[in-house]
Amino acid sequence: MPAVSKGDGMRGLAVFISDIRNCKSKEAEIKRINKELANIRSKFKGDKALDGYSKKKYVCKLLFIFLLGHDIDFGHMEAVNLLSSNKYTEKQIGYLFISVLVNSNSELIRLINNAIKNDLSSRNPTFMCLALHCIANVGSREMAEAFASEIPRILVAGDTMDSVKQSAALCLLRLYKTSPDLVMMGEWTSRVVHLLNDQHMGVVTAAISLITCLSQKNPDEFKTCVSLAVSRLSRIVSSASTDLQDYTYYFVPAPWLSCKLLRLLQCYPPPEDGAVKGRLVECLETILNKAQEPPKSKKVQHSNAKNAILFEAISLIIHYDSEPNLLVRACNQLGQFLQHRETNLRYLALESMCTLASSEFSHEAVKTHIETVINALKTERDVSVRQRAADLLYAMCDRSNAKQIVAEMLSYLETADYSIREEMVLKVAILAEKYAVDYSWYVDTILNLIRIAGDYVSEEVWYRVIQIVINRDDVQGYAAKTVFEALQAPACHENMVKVGGYILGEFGNLIAGDPRSSPLVQFNLLHSKFHLCSVPTRALLLSAYIKFINLFPETKATIQEVLRCDSQIRNSDVELQQRAVEYLKLSSIASTDVLATVLEEMPPFPERESSILAKLKKKKGPGAVSVTELEDNKREGGELNGEGDRGPDPAAMASSNASTPSPSADLLGIRSAAPVGAAPTSVGSLLVDVFSEAGPAAPSAAVNDDGFLSSASPSEDPAPPLSEADELLNKFVCKNNGVLFENQLLQIGIKSEYRQNLGRMYLFYGNKTSVQFASFTTTVSCPGELQSQLNASDQTSGTTGRGWSPDPTGTQHRVLTDFSDAPLLNIKFRYGGALQNLTLKLPVTINKFFQPTEMTSHDFFQRWKQLSQPQQEAQKIFKANHSMDTEVLKAKLLGLGTALLDDVDPNSENYVCAGVIQTKGQQVGCLLRLEPNGQAQMYRLTLRCSKDSVSRRLCELLAEQF
C-alpha cells in the first residue's frame, strides 16, 4: 500500500471533524452539518470541475456525516467518478463510500459494476484487491450475479499475484455464503484444491476457508483435498518453529492454518489410503506430544495457539472415532486440562469429553475422571462450566456408576443454579429410569427428586413415575409405602401430592394392612394436603377419593361426607364441582360390582420412548432456551410424545376403565385413548355420558348421541377396498353422522348437514397408531358426468397426521341437478415409509337434499294421481334385510329426509312419505309409499317423482335400507 503522503492529509476534513467534535449540543452539530452539506452541494453543483483531491475530500466528509447517522442522498456520482481515478487514495475512498452507502440504485449499480470490472481486469494488484474487497463488503446478490463467474477465474489464473489470490478466495467465499446458487462449480474447483500446495501461506489460509465451506456442500468434488491437507499439515507440524517466519505466532507454526486444516479434515471420513492415514496419525500424535512439552513461552498467546490446535486435533480424533490409542491419549490430555487453572480450558475439556464419552473406545477412559468431574460440578464458580460438568456426568453414566452419579447429581441439585435445575431434573429422571436395576431405587430417586426440586419437576417426570409403577407389579407395594411416608412430611411439594394421590388411589390397598397406614389414615393424610393444592391437583385427588371408595368400602361414608360438603359440591370451579357431584352420585347409586368395574385398576401402559427423553432433546435444541420456548417445548412435547399427555385425568381413568381396555387405551391420552368411535368431545361431556341414564353397565354405548357407536360396530370389519364402498355408502342413506371408514391405521368420522341444495360435510381423521403420518393429503373429486351434476369443493383446513385432526376437513356440495353416483374421496399418506392410498365414496346421495313436505291425505292422493306416467313411477318388491320393527322403520324414513305422513294411507300398516328435492335449477317433488308384509317378510316400495331418473335412483337406494 502506498504511504499516505502529506498532501493527502485532507486538512478540510480534519477541521470539519474537529468542529463536529467540539459542538456543545446536538443542535449545534446539526447546524454545522447542514452548513457543510450546503457547501458540498454548491461545490458539486459548481460549474468548474473539481479536481480529484477535493472530490475525495468532500466524499470523505459525506461519508463521515453518514456515519454520524444523517441521511445522505447525493454524492454517489462523485464517488463513482473517484473509482476511475488512477490514484490509490482516491480509488480507496471511492470504494469505501460505495461499500458503505451502496443502494440498489439501478443506474449507479451499472456504473459501479463497470468500474469494478475495469479494475478487475487491470494488471494493477492493489486495484484488483480494492475491487475484490468492495465486492466482498457489499456481498449483495447483485454483486454475486455480476462477478460470481469472474472471480474463480482470477483465483486460479497462473499469473495472479498472491495477495490478489488471497482476496479473491475470501471474496468468493463471501459470495458463496450469500448466494450459493450463483457460484457455479466448474473446472476451477479442481484447481482451487491445488492452492493448498501454494508456496504462499496466506493464499493457503484464505483458500482453505473457501474449500472448507465449499466441501461441506459438495464433499465429492473436493475429495482430493484430504491428502493435500494431510501433507500440508504434516509439513507444518514437523517444521521447526522458525521455518515459517511470518506465519509463526509465539513459537507456534501457523496455528490458524493448522486449525483450519484440521477442521477441513473433519468434513471427511478417515482417509482410506494407508500411507495418508499413517501420516495423519503421525501428525496427530505429534500434536499430542507437543502438548506435553514444556511451553516455550510464558505468554498466554503461546498456550492459546497451542491449545487451539490441540482441541481441533482432538475433535478430529473424536470425529474419526477409529483410533483407540489416540482416543485414550486425547482423553488423558483432556483429563489434565480438567484441573487446569484456566477456566476456559476446563470448559473446553469438559465439552470435548462429553463427545469422547459416547465413543466406545474412550468411554472407559472417560469414566476414570468421574471424581474430578463431580468435583467440578460442586466447586466450579462459573455456571456454564458446571453445566458442562453435568452434561459430562450424564454422558459418562452407565449401569456401573449410575447410582453414584445420580446420587451426586441429586445432592448437587439442592444447591444448583436455577437456570440449569430443570435440565438437571430431567437428566436425573432419565438416568434413574435408564439404569434402574431395581425399581424401588428408581422410586426412591424420583421421590427424592420431587422433594428436593419439586418446582422444576415437569409434568412428564411424574407421569413417567406413574407409568412405570403401574406397569411393574413388583414395585407397586413399595411405591405406595414410600409415597405414604413421603406425604407425612409437614410440607411437601404439590407434585408429590399428585404422585401420592395417584399411587394411593391405585395401590393404597397394598399397604392398608398395616394399622399405621389404614385406609382412613391414608385418606386423612391425602385430604390434609387438599386445601393447599391447585385446581388440577384437587381434581386428581377427588378421583383418588372415588377410587378409595372402591378399594375400601369402610371409607365410603367419610368420603361421601367430604364430597357432599359445600366446598366441593358447590365449588366455583366447574371441573371440581362436576367431579364432586358425579362421584358422589356414582358412589351412592352404583352397586359395588359396577363400582369395581368402573374404578378398576389402571391397565398397564404400552411401552414406548420415555417422554422425558423427548423433552430433554427438545430442551437441548439449538439456541438459548428462553422461557417462552420452554413453554412451547412443554406443549409440543406433550403433543408429540404423549398423544396428549393430559395427565392421569380422572376422566381418562374413568373412561378407560369403563370401556373395554383397548390396546391404545392410555392413561394419559384421552384423545387417542378414547375407545372406538369416541368423538373428540370435551372431557366434560364424556363424563356426562358415562354417568348418564344409560348407566355404567353399558357406558360405551352412550359415548355420543350422534350415533357414532351404533355405526362403529359394523365397521370393525377389515378395511374395505373400493368395491365395498357402495355398501358403506348405503349406511349413510338415512343418517348424516357416523364412522365412514376404519382400518388398523385410520378412522374417518363424518358429520354432515344439508340445507336446500347445499350440503356441508366434515370429515374427522383419526390416527390410530402412535406414529405420525407423513404427507397426509386428501382430495375430493367428482367422477365423470357427476361433475356437471354436483359441485363438490374441498376446503381442507390443515390436517394433522396424529390423533384427531382438530380442524376437520370440510367439503361443500351443491346440487346442480339430480345425480346417482357419489363423489370420491382420495386419501394418501405415508405410514412407516409405505404410501397408503385409499379411495372412498363420500356418502352424498340424492335423498340428502330432501325437504319434508306435510300434506293431507286428500292432497297426497291428488298428487299421486298427477304423477301417473309410467316413467315417473318406480316400484320394487323385495325381501326384508333387517327387522320390520315399526319404530326402526319410522326412524329410517325420517332419516331419509322426507316427511312421514300419518293417517294418509287407508292401511295403517303402510308408510307414506312426501318431500321435495332441491337442486339448483329445479325442485323435484317426491311421493313414497312403503307397504310391508309382515308374514312374508317382504316390502313393496313405490315411488313417484316428477322426474323419472330421481324415482329410479331413490328406489335403488331405499331398497337396500329395509
Partner 1 sequence: MIGGLFIYNHKGEVLISRVYRDDIGRNAVDAFRVNVIHARQQVRSPVTNIARTSFFHVKRSNIWLAAVTKQNVNATMVFEFLYKMCDVMSAYFGKISEENVKNNFVLIYELLDEILDFGYPQNSETGALKTFITQQGIKSQHHSKEEQSQITSQVTGQIGWRREGIKYRRNELFLDVLESVNLLMSPQGQVLSAHVSGRVVMKSYLSGMPECKFGMNDKIVIDKQGKGGSSEDGAKSGKQSIAIDDCTFHQCVRLSKFDSERSISFIPPDGDYELMRYRTTKDIILPFRVIPLVREVGRTKLEVKVVIKSNFKSSLLAQKIEVRIPTPLNTSGVQLICMKGKAKYKASENAIVWKVKRMAGMKESQISAEIELLPNDKKKWARPPISMNFEVPFAPSGLKVRYLKVFEPKLNYSDHDVIKWVRYIGRSGIYETRC
Please indicate if the annotation marks 57 as binding a ligand: yes
- Nearest approach in angstroms of CB 21 to partner 1 is 15
Contact 189, 222 (CB under 8 A): yes
- Per CB under 8 A, the segment of 25-33, 173-181, 236-244, 462-470 that binds partner 1 is 25-33
Binder among 4, 15, 38, 532 for partner 1 (CB under 8 A):
38
- Nearest approach in angstroms of CB 108 to partner 1 is 12
- 837, exposed or middle or buried, with CB in 10 Å at 0-12, 13-18, 19+? exposed
- Nearest approach in angstroms of CB 628 to partner 1 is 23
Please indicate if the annotation marks 43 as binding a ligand: yes
Binder among 2, 22, 31, 177 for partner 1 (CB under 8 A):
31
Please indicate if the annotation marks 865 as binding a ligand: no
Binder among 6, 21, 45, 865 for partner 1 (CB under 8 A):
45
Contact 925, 916 (CB under 8 A): yes
Binder among 37, 79, 353, 709 for partner 1 (CB under 8 A):
37
Is 73 or 885 the residue whose CB approaches partner 1 more closely? 73
Give residue for cell 473433519. 266
- Nearest approach in angstroms of CB 684 to partner 1 is 42
Is 26 or 381 the residue whose CB approaches partner 1 more closely? 26
Binder among 39, 99, 664, 923 for partner 1 (CB under 8 A):
39
Is 6 or 24 the residue whose CB approaches partner 1 more closely? 24
Q: Does 35 bind partner 1 (CB under 8 A)?
A: yes
Contact 332, 298 (CB under 8 A): no
933 bridge partner residues:
938
Binder among 13, 17, 44, 114 for partner 1 (CB under 8 A):
44
Is 42 or 907 the residue whose CB approaches partner 1 more closely? 42
Contact 182, 145 (CB under 8 A): yes
- Per CB under 8 A, the segment of 23-31, 169-177, 188-196, 660-668 that binds partner 1 is 23-31
CA distances from 400 to 367, 375, 405, 421, 732 (A): 10, 19, 10, 25, 62
- Nearest approach in angstroms of CB 34 to partner 1 is 5
x-or-dash string of contact with partner 1, 81-120, rule CB under 8 A: ----------------------------------------
Binder among 4, 51, 67, 74 for partner 1 (CB under 8 A):
74
Of 688, 778, 797, whose CA–CA distance to 740 is shortest?
778
Q: Does 15 bind partner 1 (CB under 8 A)?
A: no
End-to-end CA distance of the chain: 100
Of 216, 324, 197, whose CA–CA distance to 263 is shortest?
216
Number of other CB atoms surrounding residue 638 within 10 Å: 23
Is 35 or 879 the residue whose CB approaches partner 1 more closely? 35
Contact 226, 277 (CB under 8 A): no
The DSSP symbol for 804 reads B
Please indicate if the annotation marks 61 as binding a ligand: yes
Is the Cα dihedral 700, 704, 705, 707 positive or negative?
A: negative
Contact 619, 659 (CB under 8 A): no
Can you read off the three cell numbers belonging to residue 270? 478417515
Binder among 8, 20, 23, 32 for partner 1 (CB under 8 A):
32
Is the Cα dihedral 843, 847, 851, 855 positive or negative?
A: negative
Q: Does 41 bind partner 1 (CB under 8 A)?
A: yes
Q: Does 68 bind partner 1 (CB under 8 A)?
A: no
Can you read off the three cell numbers belonging to residue 26? 446536538
Is 31 or 217 the residue whose CB approaches partner 1 more closely? 31
- Nearest approach in angstroms of CB 145 to partner 1 is 24
Is 42 or 415 the residue whose CB approaches partner 1 more closely? 42
Binder among 42, 86, 723, 935 for partner 1 (CB under 8 A):
42
- Nearest approach in angstroms of CB 27 to partner 1 is 10
> Position 329: which residue type?
R
Is 82 or 146 the residue whose CB approaches partner 1 more closely? 82
- Nearest approach in angstroms of CB 38 to partner 1 is 3
Q: Does 34 bind partner 1 (CB under 8 A)?
A: yes
CA distances from 71 to 42, 54, 196 (A): 18, 21, 45
- Nearest approach in angstroms of CB 39 to partner 1 is 7
Binder among 25, 245, 628, 837 for partner 1 (CB under 8 A):
25
- 801, exposed or middle or buried, with CB in 10 Å at 0-12, 13-18, 19+? middle
Q: Which of residues 200-219 bind partner 1 (CB under 8 A)?
A: none
Q: Does 626 bind partner 1 (CB under 8 A)?
A: no
Give residue for cell 417445548. 633
Is 41 or 299 the residue whose CB approaches partner 1 more closely? 41
Contact 759, 784 (CB under 8 A): no
**Percent helix, strand and coil across the chain, each rounded to 5?**
60, 10, 30
- In whole angstroms, give the CA distance from residue 276 to residue 954: 83
Contact 92, 59 (CB under 8 A): no
Long-range CB pairs of 693-702 (<8 Å, 24+ gap) are: 695/594, 696/586, 696/590, 696/594, 696/597, 696/598, 696/658, 697/594, 699/598, 699/655, 699/658, 699/659, 700/658, 700/659, 700/660, 700/675, 700/676
Q: Does 245 bind partner 1 (CB under 8 A)?
A: no
Report residue 249: phi and psi, to 5°: -120, 110
Is 44 or 64 the residue whose CB approaches partner 1 more closely? 44
Q: Does 190 bind partner 1 (CB under 8 A)?
A: no
Coil, strand, or helix at residue 227?
A: helix
Q: Does 73 bind partner 1 (CB under 8 A)?
A: yes
The DSSP symbol for 750 reads E
The DSSP symbol for 911 reads E
Contact 13, 63 (CB under 8 A): no
Binding-site size, partner 1 (CB under 8 A): 15
- Per CB under 8 A, the segment of 26-34, 301-309, 312-320, 889-897 that binds partner 1 is 26-34
Please indicate if the annotation marks 12 as binding a ligand: yes
Is 71 or 181 the residue whose CB approaches partner 1 more closely? 71
Is 73 or 609 the residue whose CB approaches partner 1 more closely? 73
Q: What is the CA radius of gyration of the chain?
A: 41
Q: Does 24 bind partner 1 (CB under 8 A)?
A: yes
- Per CB under 8 A, the segment of 4-12, 39-47, 568-576, 785-793 that binds partner 1 is 39-47
Number of other CB atoms surrounding residue 545 within 10 Å: 27
Is 74 or 418 the residue whose CB approaches partner 1 more closely? 74
- Per CB under 8 A, the segment of 32-40, 250-258, 390-398, 506-514 that binds partner 1 is 32-40
Can you read off the three cell numbers belonging to residue 318? 473424536
Is 77 or 835 the residue whose CB approaches partner 1 more closely? 77
Angle at 829 (CA atoms; ends 826, 831), nearest 5 degrees: 140
Is 65 or 541 the residue whose CB approaches partner 1 more closely? 65
Strands (E) in 823-950, as ranges, are 824-831, 834-841, 850-852, 873-879, 899-901, 911-918, 923-933, 938-945
Give residue for cell 357432599. 564
Q: Does 607 bind partner 1 (CB under 8 A)?
A: no
Which positions make up the binding site?
11-12, 43, 53, 57-61
Residues engaged in binding partner 1 (CB under 8 A): 24-25, 31-32, 34-35, 37-39, 41-42, 44-45, 73-74
